[in-house]
Amino acid sequence: MSDLLRIAIVGFGEIARRQHVPAIAKTSGAALVAVADPAQTPPGLPHFRDLQELLRDGPEIDAVALCTPPQIRHAQAAAALAAGKHVLLEKPPGATVAELSPLIAAAHQAGRTLFATWHSRYAPAVGPARKLLAGRTINKVTIIWKEDVRVWHPGQAWIFEAGGFGVFDPGINALSILTEILPRPLLVRSAMLDFPSNREAPIAAELELTDESGLPIRAEFDFRQTGPQTWDILCETDAGPVTLSKGGRQLRDGSMLVVDAADEEYPALYRRFVALTSDGKSDVDLVPLQLVADSFMLGRRRLVEAFED
């Protein structure tokens, strides 16, 4: 195997083009050498219609970054691991929780890395927020995570199909941050899920969560936000409010701005991937996915107006 981690992206949609390509280019020890996608043809790179064609006819690769919809990712990950490739899974790592366990076992048996990524945990203010909160008593947490699906997932009907997560596709980013910065495991207590009358996944959700200490946590997710987008987590503590905003790029301690940094989530994610493959380790945290699954299990379903992209 080459000292350079040769990566192929499978699924070349908006996030792959906007985030993965420039992140790989910034990552020492990694190179993008091919793309597999049935429709998108990136200039200057070998292109294949699907993973099978890539594995059969493509250049030598060491790893695949799966940026396809979650409904088909399990089969692709299994095929890549069977072919001896390291696998990076975009979030959410799969359409179900149970499908990840066989992949973890397959990666271990093959001696390859399986990396279930939670890119929002790599936002620059998340680590400092965890350290700040570690020395305080947290009394209440409020999450407001609202964005425009037409901006972030234009024409991507799969996100509103069964297994596509709907508003939990961005909402799981907030849950991945929350489980990183809070000290205790979280439990879902109730959920109200708004389903458009013509779709199979929710467009909005309201969650009530807690931990073993009884901490009240409320989360509001909405895919219908227009204008400025809102990605905020407010923690009310015994020493005043701590606010993570801009998806984890900005941190305030009361009125004092502690962190205000550019988005470098994906370069940090790929540095982690290179390190994992070098060390022969995997990283698969299923807790955010489990919280989403629990929200669907407990959630009351409310029909709202039809959604047309």
For 218-277, the DSSP string reads EEEEESB--SS-EEEEEEEETTEEEEEETTTTEEEETTEEEEE----HHHHHHHHHHHHH
The residue-averaged pLDDT of 123-140 equals 97
**How far is residue 20's CA from residue 266's CA, in Å, rounded to a whole number?**
7
Last residue of a domain, one of 98, 116, 134: 116
Over 80: is that where the pLDDT of 1 sits? no
Check residue 160 and give its pLDDT.
97
pLDDT band at 309 (very low <50, low <70, confident <90, very high): confident
The residue-averaged pLDDT of 47-72 equals 97
**Where on the phi/psi map is residue 64: left (φ > 0), alpha (ψ -120 to 50), or beta?**
beta
**How far from each other are the two terminal CA atoms of the chain, in whole angstroms?**
45
pLDDT band at 190 (very low <50, low <70, confident <90, very high): very high
pLDDT band at 41 (very low <50, low <70, confident <90, very high): confident
Over 90: is that where the pLDDT of 213 sits? yes
User: Do both 134 and 100 map to the same domain?
Assistant: no
Over 70: is that where the pLDDT of 8 sits? yes
User: Do both 251 and 125 map to the same domain?
Assistant: yes
Over 80: is that where the pLDDT of 229 sits? yes
Domain-located, residue 272: no
Over 90: is that where the pLDDT of 175 sits? yes
What rounded mean pLDDT belongs to the chain? 96
The residue-averaged pLDDT of 83-90 equals 98
The strand pairing partners of 161, in sequence order, are none
Domain-located, residue 241: yes
Residues 6+ apart with CB under 8 A from 197: 303, 304, 305, 306
User: Do both 29 and 92 map to the same domain?
Assistant: yes
CATH number, domain at 10? 3.40.50.720
Last residue of a domain, one of 101, 116, 131: 116
Domain-located, residue 281: no
The residue-averaged pLDDT of 152-171 equals 95
User: Do both 70 and 204 map to the same domain?
Assistant: no
Which residues participate in catalysis according to the annotation? 91
Last residue of a domain, one of 116, 139, 155: 116
User: Do both 54 and 125 map to the same domain?
Assistant: no
Check residue 173 and give its pLDDT.
98
User: Do both 112 and 125 map to the same domain?
Assistant: no
Over 90: is that where the pLDDT of 179 sits? yes
User: Do both 142 and 240 map to the same domain?
Assistant: yes
pLDDT single digits (tens) 253-305 = 999 999 999 989 999 999 999 999 999 999 999 999 999 999 999 999 999 99
The residue-averaged pLDDT of 50-63 equals 97
Domain-located, residue 34: yes
The rounded percent of the chain whose pLDDT value lies above 90 is 94
User: Do both 161 and 88 map to the same domain?
Assistant: no
Check residue 197 and give its pLDDT.
97
pLDDT band at 2 (very low <50, low <70, confident <90, very high): low
| Domain total of the chain | 2
CATH number, domain at 171? 3.30.360.10
The residue-averaged pLDDT of 89-116 equals 97
Domain that holds residue 110: 5-116
User: Do both 109 and 240 map to the same domain?
Assistant: no
Check residue 40 and give its pLDDT.
80
**How far is residue 112's CA from residue 275's CA, in Å, rounded to a whole number?**
13
